[in-house]
Each structure stands twice: as C-alpha cells, then as structure tokens.
Amino acid sequence: MTMHHTLIALGSNYLPAPHIQWACERIATFLHDVTMSRRLWTKDTKGTGIWYQNCLITGYTDITADELQTLLKEIETETGRTKLCVTLDLDLMLYDDKRYHLRDWERPYFTTLFAELPHIAE
C-alpha cells in the first residue's frame, strides 16, 4: 500500500474551536501520523473584517487526491457551511509533491503555520 504525504488547511469563522476540533478528529480517520499546527486568528482575505481561525494538518494517506478532496468537501457540508457562515473551510494544499491553492501558499497565516511544521518545512 502506497502512502501519500498530505497537507490540509483548515479555517472557520463560526464557532471555530469546536468545528476545527471536530474536523481534525474526522480527518484523523483517514490520515496517519497526523501533526497539527497551532491555531492562528486572521482577518479574511476579502477585506470584510470577518475573523477566521486557521490551522494546518499534515499526515499520510492511502487514498487518492480526488478521494481526499471529496471527503474534505463532505466534512464541510456536514457542518452546514454557507457562503457567509464558514463553519469549516478544508483545502488540500499538498499531495506528495503536488501543490494546490497556489495563492494560499503566499498568505501570511499559511507561511507562518507551514514554517512551524518542521518535518515538512522547505
């Protein structure tokens, strides 16, 4: 069985502590050797002034990138996410050597949290 290294970005602007905790527990059912960054508060990138709590989670999985992205979107839906009430935003950022959401890699919250995960820091 081939294991794939993954990195997932998590964000929430509504009851973030329980939503992020719940998401991490769900993600841990299909990721192994999980490491989670600290949580960081940031204003949204669209300038609305809405605050988000963000973190990163990394680990290994034997499922495909497409299957993983489908699972992440299902988890978002389960929490009742809407356009304004982002209970969870789960984005696959890295799958082995392939990067996703390239603009997010330059965002300050991401670069800060990514650098704090020493086993994957570049």
**Ordered DSSP codes for 4-55:** EEEEEEEEESSSHHHHHHHHHHHHTTT-EEEEE---EEEE-TTSS--EEEEE
pTM of the model: 0.92
* Run of H or E residues at 89: strand 89-95
Which residues on neighbouring strands pair with residue 53, listed in sequence order? Answer: 12, 41
* Run of H or E residues at 75: helix 65-78
Q: What is the pLDDT of residues 101-115, one digit of tens each?
A: 999 999 999 999 999
Taking the C-alpha atoms of residue 57 and residue 63, their distance in angstroms, rounded to an integer, is 16
**Is a pLDDT exceeding 90 seen at residue 118?**
no
Question: In this predicted structure, what is the pLDDT of residue 68?
Answer: 97
**Is a pLDDT exceeding 80 seen at residue 3?**
yes
Q: What is the pLDDT of residues 50-68, one digit of tens each?
A: 899 999 999 999 999 999 9
The residue behind tokens 């081939």 is 2
Q: Residue 56 in contact with residue 117, Cβ under 8 Å? A: yes
How far is the CA of 60 from the CAs of 7, 16, 39, 73, 112, in angstroms? 9, 24, 21, 18, 22
